[in-house]
């Protein structure tokens, strides 16, 4: 499966890799960014290595398989399944983090209460992986027929079908508007209630296409699918957890690089980074968002909406 790690050159530049550093790719996907980090560390000749994490066990298994073919990198990559909100525990299991002891005297301090962090940098690419989008049975795709699932961790939690078939009209409309910025949310929610039960991706996509007219190249169901995926996987909550953890799990002088593909997520990252910078927890590395160049967009069209922001922990 062909894979294009987005903003790869820029990611490596802003991570500021050190030859003996330890890094975490929190969204390993198919392993593109992980492989590039490991290769660069090998070229630098030190002891540096990278922890490949992902919440999706199937994607992580594919990354492990892909990276097993990368000659000479086995000693520089470890793997672990984890959500963003589980990152302290995941790093602790690798010997990279010790939770800070509670200190009531510092409760009102703006300075972060730090544990023993050994992580020199982290990368999080918040886009959905090509594997997820092209595998119909995962339920993410608008075109490929499959069950209305959308869970990144299959086997646990509610599915998109659960939301579509059991939520109230008002709750669905709010979900589509708040998590997908879908302006026709009430019209679509009303049509869904009339058409229940809805069990497949194609069924839902065709229903929405019949209610909301297509404008340009974007499928009219795109924002609804995005909203359902974000709700099923609690993506806003997980992103909040990651942003909260950065000053604790990355050591002083280390970097955090976040790549977003949605305006909602980019606004969240931008504002939280500004707040943390004002609180003295981080330093903004790039004050203006970094986007792909013309060549990258031409070779990998899905990268066109990518935005990169980077910070250094103080």
**Is cis: bond before 197, omega within 30 of 0?**
yes
The β-bridge relationship of strands 307-313 and 282-284 is: antiparallel
pLDDT band, residue 2 (cuts 50/70/90):
low
Would you say residue 123 has pLDDT above 90?
yes
What would the mean pLDDT of 64-75 be, rounded to a whole number? 85
pLDDT tens for residues 224-243?
A: 999 999 999 999 999 999 99
On whether the CB atoms of residues 70 and 43 are closer than 8 A, the answer is: no
- Predicted pLDDT at 96: 95
- Predicted pLDDT at 22: 98
| Token reading at 2 | 């062909």
- Predicted pLDDT at 214: 78
CA 265/CA 179 separation, integer angstroms = 10
Would you say residue 126 has pLDDT above 90?
yes
Flag the least confident range among 120-124, 150-154, 308-312.
150-154
Would you say residue 37 has pLDDT above 60?
yes
On whether the CB atoms of residues 18 and 114 are closer than 8 A, the answer is: no
CA 226/CA 232 separation, integer angstroms = 10
| Token reading at 6 | 């987005």
What would the mean pLDDT of 257-284 be, rounded to a whole number? 97
Q: CA torsion sign, 70 to 26 to 276 to 305?
A: positive
Go through the domains of the chain in sequence order and give each one's CATH number: 8-130+236-313 (3.40.50.150), 154-232 (1.10.150.170)
At residue 306's C-alpha, the angle toward residues 300 and 308, to 5°, is: 130
| Token reading at 297 | 């967009």
Residue 140: exposure state from Cβ atoms within 10 A (0-12, 13-18, ≥19) = buried
DSSP, collapsed to helix, strand or coil, labels residue 135 as coil
């Amino acid at each position: 499966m062909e894979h294009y790690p987005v903003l790869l050159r820029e990611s490596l530049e802003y991570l500021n890799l050190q030859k003996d550093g330890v890094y975490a790719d929190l969204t390993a996907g198919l392993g593109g960014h992980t492989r590039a980090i490991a290769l660069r560390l090998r070229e630098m000749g030190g002891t540096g290595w990278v922890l490949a994490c992902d919440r999706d066990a199937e994607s992580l298994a594919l990354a492990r398989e892909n990276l097993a073919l990368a000659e000479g990198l086995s000693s520089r990559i470890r793997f672990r399944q984890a959500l963003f909100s589980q990152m302290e525990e995941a790093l602790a299991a690798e010997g990279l983090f010790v939770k800070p002891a509670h200190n009531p005297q510092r409760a009102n301090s703006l300075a972060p209460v730090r544990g023993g962090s050994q992580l020199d940098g982290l990368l999080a690419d918040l886009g959905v992986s090509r594997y997820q989008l092209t595998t119909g049975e995962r339920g993410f795709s608008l075109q490929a027929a499959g069950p209305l699932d959308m869970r990144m961790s299959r086997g646990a939690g509610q599915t998109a079908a659960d939301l579509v078939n059991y939520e109230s009209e008002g709750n669905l409309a709010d979900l589509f508007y708040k998590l997908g910025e879908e302006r026709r949310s009430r019209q679509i929610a009303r049509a869904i209630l009339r058409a229940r039960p809805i069990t497949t991706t194609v069924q839902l996509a065709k229903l929405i296409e019949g209610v909301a007219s297509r404008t340009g190249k974007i499928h009219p169901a795109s924002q609804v699918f995005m909203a359902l995926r974000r709700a099923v996987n609690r993506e806003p909550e997980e992103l909040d957890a990651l942003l909260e953890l950065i000053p604790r799990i990355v050591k002083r002088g280390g970097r955090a690089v976040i790549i977003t593909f949605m305006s909602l997520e980019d606004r969240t990252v931008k504002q939280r980074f500004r707040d943390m910078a004002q609180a003295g927890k981080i330093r903004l590395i790039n004050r203006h968002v970094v986007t792909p160049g013309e060549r990258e967009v031409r070779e990998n069209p899905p990268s066109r909406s990518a935005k990169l922001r980077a910070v250094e922990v103080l």
